[in-house]
Amino acid sequence: MTKPFVHEWRALGVLCRVVSNSPLDTVAIESQVEEWEQALSRFRPNSDLSRLNRQRHAHVSAPLQQVLLAALEVAQWSQGLVVPSLGQHIADIGYDQNFATVAPVTAAVVDAAIVPDWRRIVVRGRDVTIPPQMKLDLAGVAKGWIAEQLVALFTPPGGSLLAQIGGDVSVSAPSDTVPWCIAVDHPLQSTSCGNIALFEGTVATSSTYERRWQRAGQTIHHIIDPRSGMPAQSDVLTASVIATQAIYAEAAAKIIVVLGSAAGLAWVSRYALPALIIDQSGNVRTNDAWVPFIWSEGTTTDV
């Protein structure tokens, strides 16, 4: 087997990786991701998103418009369990800067304010208006969207490509070749939970394990339950979901974290979305839809 071409770098505060069966223009890829980050980052004061959050009304860039529309589609599909209107709540719990620089603080977490209604966001073409007191956060949707866009833009003709942005992995491979074999990590063990085989689509992982920190002696994480405005309280440590479209894989994984393993697995199973869950005790659960994607041998690329 020919050794794959692999390129790794950091952007959007996470590990980014592209893997292909032929060399890629890494300068063009990094430049494209930088352009998207400049539009979508809430940590850059001069980004398109930060400007909209300050001004409440703006003519936004095409990437911000597309990702915001995707986030609104996800909010509708998830029945309000994954929404783009949590920017202020995420900042209030201490995640107001790139995660690499988040430090423990002694101040207690304040009682959450009511989450602003995402349905009050108005998008007319590229003119966007958000209501007072609302700040947008598009990080989850944006990472999956970027991974998917990289696959669409940079897959060599007749070739294969894997793009990873943090916990979101999108792939493409011709159906007459071998699928991508992706290892799903177990956060509490040195070995993976197993491997999945994927020709097309996305596998997204949401976790309360990696992006957590101390606040007033309390361990908190970055996944907010819109029903409470506070970090989700459930038995889920990580959730991985496979979907044809990245926005649904990302949203479904987050829904499982918010609802908990039993209710979350039931929720995604209604949509026949393959899911794997690791609970706080390290137990692994999957639904029936996951089984056809299990790959028991071959070279793996870590999620």
Helical H runs in the chain?
26-40, 48-55, 62-77, 87-92, 139-154, 246-259, 261-269
Range of the domain at 292: 5-302
Taking Cα atoms as reference points, which of 146, 149, 180 lies closest to residue 162? 180
Greater confidence (50 vs 189) lies with: 50
pLDDT tens per residue, range 227-244: 988 888 899 999 999 999
Instruction: Give the separation between CA 249 and CA 233, rounded to whole angstroms.
Output: 21
Q: Hey, is 157 helix, strand or coil?
A: coil
In the chain, how many domains are there? 1
How confident is the model over 19-72, as pLDDT tens digits? 999 999 999 999 999 999 999 998 899 999 999 999 999 999 999 999 999 999
**CATH number of the domain to which 211 belongs:** 3.10.520.10
The pTM for the full model equals: 0.89
